[in-house]
Structure 1
């Protein structure tokens, strides 16, 4: 029997509302009910600046964004100039916008003296870096004289990077970064396994400040160009209202289907998560609409929150932007950005197909329906209102495939969004919204810049201490050269790092330390890095520290830990798909091999879902549900390169026989229940 809309949710939700107040509208999207904790966190993130501090922050933010836009077409400045402008402007904005801590109130509305000192120091560091750029370029690294002010500026900038990272990302990233710096100086006193001669203060200043190996490294260069450009692309999409249009399109396409709101969450989060750069930000953005809708149609609060958690997290692996991860990965591996995107398409689709199957099985099991027709915006009307916003996305993808630079493509399509938005009154970006969008571009890069700057210091310390070679030797020694043990170690370390660090930082550190071990065992470079990138997502959905799930639980008024375990069940793809990267041709084979593996994987994923939900054409018995698990395991091994064609034939035939048996049993159950009714 289908659930009545007025029926109280079986999962402990509130009575369902009926009538016109359920009708979909953008106002509901903007004013959706969010827990007090989420509201307080959003309100308390930035200082409420007034007067001169407000004008200064606004001016620096807008000017920084305009400089980046200018260099996209006029040509990038010399490395230390382009990167120095980004670093110092981010210092200024961080110390103006971010309070010392989230809990303190004394500096919530005004900038204290010590922050003004750091703002002034940031301006001086920028002046010193720009005015001495020629000397930095012509000096001989680790040989030429280091001036006294070089020491002062270098140490000041390192300390400000650590403090900016603490304010924007939390204490954990500062502690880890400080630990690597301390190791560089305390090498002679470390255990034999990690012992080395240590570095001097002069060498530290050379490595971190006077060369492009430290804070001015390639990662910072990426943040100052293409990463900034793509974040601007997403910011202007939101400024034009395109995000609301995409949400409407998703509701029009999937809202009427069985368990429609959950499928809307899957589709919309895939679209928005790839641009937002943060799974938590995506949860708070799309979850405020999708989670209440899911609860109203019959999903439990924990299920609704977990579905949104996994869908939002998946945005980090979905091309073309992959939550900025694609840029970091391409820069780290040294391959074209387009290659990363092309190799990531099939795995990302498998992840979302798995979630889609699970939410559909949940809906079938609960006998849920879709949204009422009056809550669904007409597709044709919606497309006429905002379909033009597909054009810049399509052009962006085409430009990237054709080999144009991501930086110029991103900024160019950002300008195109602005021009297209002027065509309609509802989407028009006036002067005020335009400058607010420019300011928001700088705000968007701030937390990511904190990740990049701290990670650059960590990578710099790893390189100068030789820690990468030591770690590789330790991993290979512990695993005894066995690839599967190495994968377990890398996955476990990725989970631990992800518990306390942002995804970007976790990936950079883990890739620097463990990718050489995987490569030495025969894993191709890009495959190794994609595997590591997926492993760093594990902590996002895995208790006990799964902050994205906790954020979604706050919106859904759900039990946080139960939400985490439900998210683990729904997003379990994060655990087994990366293994296919290494042991099959899923991302490193011919196109036809990839297609065959993808089809087999889809079947395997579906039947794993039947085991998880204990549902296939009706409720499965305690024993018959294991048929789904057995099908998954048989097909999973059939995809491995080590399986011969004869073995694959046997495994596939066995799976087909089990599927037929499950179908026959469930069909008889259906006929029996119909006769008895």
Structure 2
């Protein structure tokens, strides 16, 4: 490897260390100590996720069971200690030793967290009346946390958290604009809220981090240590390397596969980019475009189920949607975004007239290869159906034997696939600068690591079929991965009839390094979720999202599209410099409810899961967007290109990702909400075509270089395929309206399970001279009669001069919180202005016909100018 190339790789690895695992490099006793702490953290998280504590209690009577809150406290304690030891506090701080002040900070951080463990019962008895020691501990804990966040994640999150903390305590200051003031909290109340109970630092975010995210990050670390990262890269190159722009297409596929378990876009860039970026440059991609392809594909990996950069579990927690449903909702947008990126790479290769890498010689006819491929697909399908329905039958007939049967099948499958892998040499990590005479055969690469798929199969089986909790599913998948890591080397040596001396030891070393790596990868996530708890706690304490909603409403002037654009920009800004998990926590806490509230005020109702995906997507875009796109800096360190130009090009490639949130806000079919299987397949096909047309329009190339009017036409076609309902709304009203007493009759006539939109208007609670509006989605129950159905939802309506006036709902009823903004006791009543149900209309899919005809016209026109095959 050339010195310049080696320096680039070292720079990139250093960037990952600074962002993910800690830039301090320690050896000797100090290195062993940090490794031991990290290993113990991983072991502790596996212990509390298992049934071992309960088994120990049943067998020995020793109570080593930790409740959920105690696990949160210990989780943060480990994060603070390792942050102090692994990350230098200042740029000039020593990298090869631990200064005295870091020992002090580690001790204080651990003590502040463990104080909550050992004093838990006494704290509960005080019921919100903190002692002086409570205040000292809380102040110390928050201070150490701020320092840990600064050293591991940088200044942005610290500044945001401090601003929110200051707002909670000084929100009543007269120098603040009246619109953002609130009554303020005393120092004691704030410290109690943020540290002494589960509303701030140790809130929902840390709960998800300690119970689910850690296990998935550990699973990914073990998978990487087992060799899966190199396997996925080689598999991607063997499948796509021979195509036009093959290395770039392989980079996209490798990043997609890495995204299955990775929680960091920066680590993804370096893991796959170290190999893919030099090869892209060698095949003709400029440095900035090579880096941008890797950045765009790695950032997209954060959107790929089942992990989604460790944010999938937080989304499930905050929206109340099951984790399984979150995975299903995220599937189509993530996959079509990746397909579109592959197509963008293909278009770039066409524009630059690039060729693929040399492929291995073919020793069989096309017919035999086709039969082999079909046999493989049919075999996998039959095996999948046998496992699904076979185990499904066993679960029903003999539920007690389901787990032993799954365990047996796993072991048998693993032994067979390990035997298959032993028949071919292990994969080596190639030098990307070495000359490539030909690509490896896909079959040979595949055989070396099919067994890596088994733990992922276990994970998906547990989540989607057995319906286990995400934490329990991750535990079983991690234990399956541990078994493979420890045994793969001696097992393959046995099948190869080679000496097994040292092979088992290598497995133990890989397992130990995987455990340590998983914990070190979690340092930033642990302290980020703790700091984000301050933001979440402030929002819940002050109702801050309502103030932001008022600001956005003022700036947008009530225009829905402008409001969504402002929220997108704010999410992009808030996400700059933050890792995926903290990124989502910040943007969702502040911006998700803004979209919901303002949408309801303008008559636009959108599912909460779609809103959270909207802000999540734009928060993630901060990783690629200059000037703080850390993934772009990592890619530029490898490509030796300009980081700002790399980020700009990466943003251009990611425009398809930026368009998706706007599309699924208005067309929730893309998220498979209330969509059947056949319709889901249809939606997927249409969405892929639409997104590829969008990519062609933005790249200015389809079958040939596009003229401006052709690109605009392609955008119009893509928009129509994505949202045909827009055109239908122009010729047919989407709703049937009712007003006055007819509203009650409309509700009475609606079938159970349908939705009726109730449009409300009434005086503002804070300004009785102001009339505000709100739209409620009333899901019809089984009750008979309109009044009974309204009452079942906590709404009491009375006739008032021909209008339907609402009484104030009881606090515990469904819509009580949403209606808090109305004044029910003024002279002007709160009324249901109108009710709406979906109208019977033409199928919106009819508009696909003119769109496809227009597409055919564009194809015919461009084919005349075509100079090379389009595919």
TM-score by length of 1: 0.89
**Pairing partner for 2:266 from 280, 292, 305:** 280
Higher helix share: 1
* Number of equivalenced pairs: 640
Deviations, residues 600-628 of structure 1 (Å, cap 9, x unaligned): 33222222333333333333345544443
**C-alpha deviation, 1:32, in angstroms:** 7.0
Mapping 1:251-266, distance limit 5 Å:
251-266=237-252
User: Cα distance 1:65–1:201, how it changes in 2: closer, same or farther (>3 A)?
Assistant: same
**C-alpha deviation, 1:40, in angstroms:** 4.5
Deviations, residues 383-416 of structure 1 (Å, cap 9, x unaligned): 2211111111111111110211111211221121
User: Is 1:406 equivalent to 2:470 in the alignment?
Assistant: yes
User: Cα distance 1:216–1:633, how it changes in 2: closer, same or farther (>3 A)?
Assistant: closer
**Pairing partner for 2:663 from 577, 580, 601:** 580
Q: Whose RCO is larger (CA < 8 A, sep 6+)? A: 1
**C-alpha deviation, 1:139, in angstroms:** 4.0
- Give the structure 2 partner of residue 504 of structure 1: 581
User: Is 1:667 equivalent to 2:641 in the alignment?
Assistant: no
**C-alpha deviation, 1:494, in angstroms:** 0.6
User: For residues 620 and 175 of structure 1, what CA distance do their matches in structure 2 show?
Assistant: 46
Deviations, residues 220-240 of structure 1 (Å, cap 9, x unaligned): 111112111101100110111
**Pairing partner for 2:170 from 179, 186, 189:** 186
User: For residues 626 and 519 of structure 1, what CA distance do their matches in structure 2 show?
Assistant: 32
User: For residues 341 and 452 of structure 1, what CA distance do their matches in structure 2 show?
Assistant: 21
Say which is worse superposed, 188-197 or 366-375, in terms of deviation: 366-375
User: For residues 506 and 420 of structure 1, what CA distance do their matches in structure 2 show?
Assistant: 33
Structure 1 gap segments, 5+ residues each? 1-26
- Give the structure 2 partner of residue 83 of structure 1: 72
User: For residues 332 and 491 of structure 1, what CA distance do their matches in structure 2 show?
Assistant: 19
Deviations, residues 317-350 of structure 1 (Å, cap 9, x unaligned): 1001111011121122222111111100001011
User: Is 1:653 equivalent to 2:849 in the alignment?
Assistant: yes
User: For residues 545 and 650 of structure 1, what CA distance do their matches in structure 2 show?
Assistant: 44
- Give the structure 2 partner of residue 228 of structure 1: 214
User: Cα distance 1:40–1:478, how it changes in 2: closer, same or farther (>3 A)?
Assistant: closer
User: Cα distance 1:650–1:338, how it changes in 2: closer, same or farther (>3 A)?
Assistant: closer
User: For residues 647 and 664 of structure 2, what CA distance do their matches in structure 1 show?
Assistant: 26
Deviations, residues 223-271 of structure 1 (Å, cap 9, x unaligned): 1121111011001101111111111111121112221111111111011
DSSP-derived class of the 2:449 partner = helix
User: Is 1:331 equivalent to 2:331 in the alignment?
Assistant: no
Question: Does the Cα contact within 8 Å between 1:80 and 1:129 map onto a contact in 2?
Answer: no
Say which is worse superposed, 636-645 or 296-305, in terms of deviation: 636-645
Question: Could you say which structure has the larger radius of gyration?
Answer: 2
User: For residues 327 and 43 of structure 1, what CA distance do their matches in structure 2 show?
Assistant: 25
User: For residues 442 and 638 of structure 2, what CA distance do their matches in structure 1 show?
Assistant: 28
User: For residues 516 and 635 of structure 1, what CA distance do their matches in structure 2 show?
Assistant: 29
Question: Does the Cα contact within 8 Å between 1:250 and 1:268 map onto a contact in 2?
Answer: yes
Question: Does the Cα contact within 8 Å between 2:242 and 2:356 map onto a contact in 1?
Answer: yes
DSSP-derived class of the 1:49 partner = coil
DSSP-derived class of the 2:670 partner = coil
- Give the structure 2 partner of residue 354 of structure 1: 340
**Pairing partner for 1:163 from 147, 150, 166:** 147
**C-alpha deviation, 1:550, in angstroms:** 2.5
Say which is worse superposed, 250-259 or 167-176, in terms of deviation: 250-259
DSSP-derived class of the 1:542 partner = coil
User: Is 1:536 equivalent to 2:619 in the alignment?
Assistant: yes
User: Cα distance 1:658–1:79, how it changes in 2: closer, same or farther (>3 A)?
Assistant: same
User: For residues 292 and 56 of structure 1, what CA distance do their matches in structure 2 show?
Assistant: 37
Question: Does the Cα contact within 8 Å between 1:53 and 1:96 map onto a contact in 2?
Answer: no
Deviations, residues 123-172 of structure 1 (Å, cap 9, x unaligned): 432442221122234442x2xx4222211111111111111100110011
User: Cα distance 1:579–1:612, how it changes in 2: closer, same or farther (>3 A)?
Assistant: closer
DSSP-derived class of the 1:83 partner = helix
**Pairing partner for 1:119 from 75, 88, 106:** 106
Say which is worse superposed, 326-335 or 231-240, in terms of deviation: 326-335
**Pairing partner for 2:561 from 476, 484, 498:** 484
User: Cα distance 1:363–1:536, how it changes in 2: closer, same or farther (>3 A)?
Assistant: same
Say which is worse superposed, 312-321 or 417-426, in terms of deviation: 417-426
**C-alpha deviation, 1:649, in angstroms:** 6.1
DSSP-derived class of the 2:202 partner = coil
Mapping 1:103-142, distance limit 5 Å:
103-105=91-93, 107-140=94-127, 142=128
User: Cα distance 1:595–1:430, how it changes in 2: closer, same or farther (>3 A)?
Assistant: closer
Say which is worse superposed, 341-350 or 295-304, in terms of deviation: 295-304
**C-alpha deviation, 1:36, in angstroms:** 5.6
Higher strand share: 2
DSSP-derived class of the 1:376 partner = coil
User: Is 1:250 equivalent to 2:220 in the alignment?
Assistant: no
User: Is 1:388 equivalent to 2:439 in the alignment?
Assistant: no
Say which is worse superposed, 510-519 or 434-443, in terms of deviation: 510-519
- Give the structure 2 partner of residue 590 of structure 1: 675
Question: Does the Cα contact within 8 Å between 2:38 and 2:516 map onto a contact in 1?
Answer: yes
User: Is 1:629 equivalent to 2:694 in the alignment?
Assistant: no
User: For residues 237 and 618 of structure 1, what CA distance do their matches in structure 2 show?
Assistant: 43
Deviations, residues 521-579 of structure 1 (Å, cap 9, x unaligned): 22211111111111212222333332212321221122222222221221111221111
User: For residues 55 and 544 of structure 1, what CA distance do their matches in structure 2 show?
Assistant: 38
- Alpha-carbon RMSD across the aligned residues, in angstroms, is 2.5
Structure 2 gap segments, 5+ residues each? 54-64, 360-436, 493-502, 600-604, 733-840
User: For residues 856 and 221 of structure 2, what CA distance do their matches in structure 1 show?
Assistant: 50
User: Is 1:443 equivalent to 2:506 in the alignment?
Assistant: no
DSSP-derived class of the 2:8 partner = coil
